[in-house]
């Protein structure tokens, strides 16, 4: 009983202290006359402070909600800004390719002036641009040894020839630019080719076709599948974002996604590319030069 009474007295004393009003008075120094007075308490001060904080919070919320500032907050970027970012990324990639071709063109013009390339061998601008990539790049000794070893190994390998389905008249586009980090290996249940690439690099459709699947899974992240002619299906996994949806018709070489690092099975920015023919996985390296 005594503890309850003490607690009541303490509570009553606390509220009395909070509600106790102080008088703020302004007095004329010459006449000692009271000019103005204000009676306030600690409770009034706390209420005014909370009201001021609430007003500031509401003003900040309205500014963020109804102005472009919300696009700088994670998860609040609207679809128009996202589409613009993707479009800018594609334009930057196209400009980079154009600059590379122009640099090659200028370098080969210099080679013509220096006599390294005969002018009568140049047929068009494209051929001049590709000269440095083809004829001017000498085959290294390591590459020559690898080619010789591979040719000797595959000379009498009939299984490789039989395992490659016939696809007449099809020109496969490289799905993205990068280096092969893990090749096709059906024995280890790795039914595709992993291509290490820069994040945000364009993922291109390898052939004309129709998107039959565009979704996200926990293991493979963002993935997209495209149905092609001659019973071919191409699969692109671990994408950073998807640019096409199910039912869209795509052209060969058209950007359908961006390289990313999504999914539990991904260990870094790369593209897992699969090629299926009549329900069976085939080695993409038999058709595409990565």
Assign 117 a pLDDT band (cuts: 50, 70, 90).
low
Count other C-beta atoms under 10 Å from residue 212's C-beta: 13
Does the pLDDT of residue 196 top 60, yes or no?
yes
pLDDT of residue 194: 95
Q: How far apart are CA 164 and CA 283, in angstroms?
A: 8
pLDDT of 124 above 70: no
Instruction: Determine the length of the chain.
Output: 290
- The Cα–Cα gap between 4 and 1 comes to 5
Is the model's pLDDT at 45 over the cut of 60?
yes
Q: pLDDT: is 254 or 145 the higher one? A: 254
Going by pLDDT thresholds of 50, 70 and 90, the confidence category of residue 118 is low
Q: What is the pTM of this model?
A: 0.46
40-49, 129-138, 181-190: which has the highest mean pLDDT?
181-190
Instruction: Kindly provide the residue ranges of all beta strands, DSSP E only, lying in 197-279, ordered along the sequence.
Output: 202-204, 209-217, 221-228, 232-242, 249-250, 255-259, 270-277
Judged by DSSP in three states, 123 sits in coil
Contacts of 222 (CB under 8 A, 6+ apart): 215, 216, 238, 239, 240, 241, 242, 257, 260, 262, 263
Q: What is the pLDDT of residues 218-253, one digit of tens each?
A: 999 999 999 998 889 999 999 999 999 999 999 999
């Amino acid at each position: 009983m005594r503890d309850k009474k003490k607690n009541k007295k303490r509570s009553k004393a606390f509220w009395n202290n909070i509600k106790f009003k102080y008088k703020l008075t302004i007095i004329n120094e010459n006449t000692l006359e009271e000019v103005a007075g204000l009676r306030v308490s600690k409770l009034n001060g706390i209420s005014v402070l909370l009201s001021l904080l609430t007003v500031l919070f509401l003003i900040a919320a309205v500014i963020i909600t109804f102005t472009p500032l919300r696009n700088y907050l994670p998860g609040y970027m609207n679809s128009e800004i996202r589409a613009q970012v993707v479009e800018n990324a594609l334009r930057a990639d196209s400009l980079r390719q154009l600059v590379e071709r122009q640099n090659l063109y200028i370098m080969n013009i210099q080679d013509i002036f220096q006599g390294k390339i005969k002018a009568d061998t140049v047929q068009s601008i494209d051929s001049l641009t590709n000269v440095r990539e083809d004829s001017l790049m000498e085959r290294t000794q390591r590459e020559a040894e690898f080619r010789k070893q591979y040719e000797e190994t595959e000379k009498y390998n009939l299984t490789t020839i039989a395992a490659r389905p016939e696809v007449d008249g099809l020109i496969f586009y490289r799905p993205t630019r990068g280096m092969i980090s893990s090749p096709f290996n059906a024995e280890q249940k790795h039914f595709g080719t992993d291509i290490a690439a820069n994040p945000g690099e364009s993922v291109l459709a390898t052939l004309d076709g129709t998107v039959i699947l565009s979704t996200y899974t926990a293991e493979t992240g963002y993935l997209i599948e495209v149905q092609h002619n001659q019973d071919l299906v191409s699969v692109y996994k671990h994408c950073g974002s998807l640019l096409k949806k199910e039912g869209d018709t795509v052209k060969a070489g058209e950007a359908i996604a961006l390289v990313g690092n999504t999914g539990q099975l991904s260990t870094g920015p790369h593209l897992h590319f699969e090629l299926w023919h009549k329900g069976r996985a085939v080695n993409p390296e038999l058709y595409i030069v990565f």
